[in-house]
Amino acid sequence: MTTTYRKLIAARHSKNFRDAIEIVESPLRDPAPRELLLRTRCTGVNAADRIMAAGAYIAATPVPFDLGGEAVGEVVAVGAQVQHYRPGDAVLTLGGGYSEYSYHPETRVFPIPRATPEIVSLGVGGLTASIALEVVGEMKSGETVLVTAAAGGTGHFAVQLAKLAGNHVIGTCSSDDKAGLLRTLGCDRPVNYRRENLHDVLKSEYPKGVHIVFESVGGDLFDTGLRHLAVRGRLITIGYIAEYDTGAQKVEQARVYSYLLPKSASVRGFWLNHFLRDHAPAHLLKLVGLLDSGKLTAEVDSRVFRGLEAVADAVEYLYSGQNHGKVVVSY
């Protein structure tokens, strides 16, 4: 076995991801008594990677810090007091994912059936869609659900989970190809926002409004979702990728209660970290079950990114908006 491993860190905060990152080499050591050593097979690429490196994500993490929101791999060594894992077991870990090897307390990893791109996509994207819709959105059946960035790594799970629960689903995306993907995933009304105006579609085709908005783009899409909430509708704000580079735009409009109160509607924030401990194990088990029974598709983008040197390309690709489903880096 090799005696060193490499990982990608944010060495300095910079809006330019390539300037922020460095690949560093460290010696491999034996895991501490309650730790396991993981050999990474795939890392999921997330919109958060770039804003974290810029020091602009929720709470700015002091540099240097490890990047990579999620990874899957095989356990190669365990500490003397590790109880539930053995070398060869496949696990998912959340955080520190852009690393050839990594160390984790056994309480911080999740057992998975295999370390594949499909399974890593269930990490941040799958868990966010599942927990946000069920726990925060109080998803029911027979409602109308609007998903923005619906063909992306997080959105395509939200579309399918909302359909599986028996809802009518509208999904926004930026191309006809993505609209086609959304149809194959069961989306009832794909909206290519480059061809159609979402406000006009909702006004003419959904006059009673939308019960859940799973919103991750921000800007005009957030405003449109808010204006079209149904009575007792819930808008879940999970991200605002359209304004990550500039910061949330300052806008002048009527206070939010004027939209919410007449409909007994609400806006609810969601950040996965706040829900991991209580909800991640059960939701991950459910997602793996749905995947393995063929009820859920984990759409992995076909563009190949291999090794730590490809991470910056992968992050830029995600931000270009071309990706269909999850962007993954493999090793």
Q: List residues binding ligand NAP (CB under 6 A).
A: 46-48, 124-125, 128, 149, 151-155, 172-174, 178, 216-217, 238-239, 241-242, 270-272, 318-319, 321, 323
Distance between CA 312 and CA 209 in Å, rounded? Answer: 40
**Pick 168 or 303: Cβ nearer ligand NAP:** 303
Q: Which helix (H) or strand (E) holds 123?
A: none
Phi, psi of 219 (to 5 degrees): 60, -135
Residues 6+ apart with CB under 8 A from 291: 118, 119, 122, 297, 298
CB of residue 202 to ligand NAP, shortest distance in Å:
16
SS3 325: strand
CB-side exposure of 82: number of CA atoms within 13 Å?
Answer: 25
**Pick 111 or 321: Cβ nearer ligand NAP:** 321
CB of residue 173 to ligand NAP, shortest distance in Å:
4
Distance between CA 156 and CA 324 in Å, rounded? Answer: 9
**Pick 82 or 92: Cβ nearer ligand NAP:** 92
**Pick 3 or 320: Cβ nearer ligand NAP:** 320
CB of residue 79 to ligand NAP, shortest distance in Å:
30
**Pick 20 or 37: Cβ nearer ligand NAP:** 20
- Asked if residue 162 lies in contact with residue 188, where contact means CB atoms within 8 angstroms, the answer is no
CB of residue 138 to ligand NAP, shortest distance in Å:
17
Q: Is 250 exposed, middle or buried (0-12, 13-18, 19+ CB in 10 A)?
A: exposed
**Pick 116 or 174: Cβ nearer ligand NAP:** 174
Q: By beta-carbon distance, which residue lies closest to ligand NAP?
A: 152
Instruction: Determine how β-strand 90-94 pairs with β-strand 109-111.
Output: antiparallel
Mutual angle of helices 176-184 and 155-164, in 10-degree steps: 30
CB of residue 321 to ligand NAP, shortest distance in Å:
4
Sequence-ordered alpha helix ranges (H) in the chain: 17-20, 48-53, 117-121, 127-131, 155-164, 176-184, 198-205, 220-227, 257-260, 276-292, 311-320
CB of residue 301 to ligand NAP, shortest distance in Å:
8
**Pick 78 or 314: Cβ nearer ligand NAP:** 314
SS3 292: helix
CB of residue 269 to ligand NAP, shortest distance in Å:
8
